[in-house]
């Protein structure tokens, strides 16, 4: 079976002051199409490094990244990638920001706008197409940034702590909003977060990284049924999984599992 994305023996070393510094040890992941995967681990463990490698922005020291069986190492444009900061251009309207990826790919403006407008109306940005980023709340800007990522029209979406800067109430709203979009579009999502509750609530599978130099300690499959609801966060199954993940994160490099 060809996986939607496969990470094979990927590691990353940096040269500093004449020494090789390991940012990420050899890492292996196999992710099926349409899965929502959360990645958690301590700061500096290599999660963002892995995303930059998958996105083609940084070469690995070893290993391969395969998308639908094709090696995409060093090839940008194969995945959609959204960072914690919305990265909206302040001089462009919300509509013009959302269609930016399509413009880069050569889609004519009118066609791009006609594709974007129904999504803006469906996903909570109706009437904001002519506004500028400074006129929107943090949550609304993140909606715009995520729609821009979706409209770049790639099957694989990387989300690097997109809700990390939001307040708790807005963050929960955005989590539910993201789940709705994921269900509608069927994308394969890799989602980095420091929030264990968020990781559980959103994901089909959770990969736990060890401290730097990071490697995968464990893969946990979340068995809670979908669709998920806010009250699930206080269920016994949720709390049991949360405690298990907390134990894994506090165990350092001990008991590292090999995930194939």
- DSSP line for 234-255: GSHHHHHHHHHHHHHHHTTTTT
156-180 average pLDDT score: 92
Local confidence band at 259 (pLDDT 50, 70, 90 cut-offs)? very low
8 Å CB contact between 187 and 198 = no
Percent of the chain with pLDDT over 90: 72
**Average pLDDT across the chain, whole number:** 90
Local confidence band at 258 (pLDDT 50, 70, 90 cut-offs)? very low
> What domains appear along the chain, each with residue ranges and CATH number?
5-79+154-258 (3.40.50.300)
Structure tokens at 234: 């206080």
8 Å CB contact between 203 and 195 = no
Q: What whole-number distance in Å separates Cα of residue 213 and Cα of residue 163?
A: 25
The pLDDT of residue 260 = 34
The pLDDT of residue 232 = 95
8 Å CB contact between 207 and 192 = no
Q: What whole-number distance in Å separates Cα of residue 260 and Cα of residue 26?
A: 11
Local confidence band at 1 (pLDDT 50, 70, 90 cut-offs)? low
Q: What whole-number distance in Å separates Cα of residue 35 and Cα of residue 187?
A: 8
- Beta-carbon contacts of residue 50 (< 8 Å; ≥ 6 apart): 7, 10, 12, 24, 27, 39, 214
Q: Look up tokens 């302040």; give the residue.
A: 90
Of 57, 56, 85, 185, residue with least CA distance to 145: 85
The pLDDT of residue 15 = 81
Burial label, 186 (beta-carbon count in 10 A; 0-12, 13-18, 19+): exposed
Local confidence band at 132 (pLDDT 50, 70, 90 cut-offs)? very high
The pLDDT of residue 254 = 47
Tens digits of residue pLDDT in 14-50 = 888 888 888 888 999 999 999 999 999 887 777 888 9
The pLDDT of residue 3 = 85
Burial label, 117 (beta-carbon count in 10 A; 0-12, 13-18, 19+): middle
Tens digits of residue pLDDT in 170-186 = 999 999 999 999 999 99
Residue 252 in this model has a pLDDT that exceeds 90: no
Q: What whole-number distance in Å separates Cα of residue 124 and Cα of residue 197?
A: 24
Tens digits of residue pLDDT in 215-235 = 888 999 999 999 999 999 999
8 Å CB contact between 214 and 43 = no
Tens digits of residue pLDDT in 48-102 = 889 999 999 999 999 999 999 999 998 988 999 998 888 999 999 999 999 998 9
8 Å CB contact between 203 and 242 = no
Find the angle CA(193)-CA(41)-CA(38) to the nearest 5 degrees.
45
Residue 251 in this model has a pLDDT that exceeds 80: no
């Amino acid at each position: 079976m060809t996986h939607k994305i496969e990470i094979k023996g990927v590691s990353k070393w940096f040269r500093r002051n004449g020494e090789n510094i390991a940012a990420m040890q050899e890492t292996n992941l196999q992710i099926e199409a349409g899965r929502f995967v959360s990645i958690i681990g301590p700061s500096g463990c290599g999660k963002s490094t892995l995303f930059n490698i998958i996105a083609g922005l940084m070469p690995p020291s070893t290993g391969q990244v395969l998308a639908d069986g094709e090696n995409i190492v060093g090839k940008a444009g194969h995945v959609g990638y959204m960072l914690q900061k919305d990265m909206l251009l302040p001089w462009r309207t919300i509509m013009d920001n959302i269609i930016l990826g399509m413009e880069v790919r050569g889609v004519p403006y009118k066609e791009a706008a006609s594709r974007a407008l129904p999504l803006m109306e469906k996903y909570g940005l109706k009437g904001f197409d002519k506004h500028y980023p400074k006129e929107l709340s943090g949550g609304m800007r993140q909606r715009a940034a995520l729609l821009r990522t979706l409209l770049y029209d790639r099957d694989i979406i990387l989300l690097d702590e997109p809700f990390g800067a939001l307040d708790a109430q807005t963050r929960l709203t955005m989590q539910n909003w993201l789940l709705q979009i994921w269900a509608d579009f069927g994308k394969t999502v890799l989602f980095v977060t420091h929030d264990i509750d968020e990781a559980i609530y959103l994901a089909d599978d959770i990969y736990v990284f060890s401290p730097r130099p990071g490697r995968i300690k464990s893969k946990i499959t979340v068995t809670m049924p979908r669709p998920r609801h806010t009250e699930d966060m206080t269920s016994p199954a949720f709390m049991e999984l949360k405690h298990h993940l907390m134990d894994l994160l506090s165990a350092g490099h001990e008991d590292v599992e090999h995930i194939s």
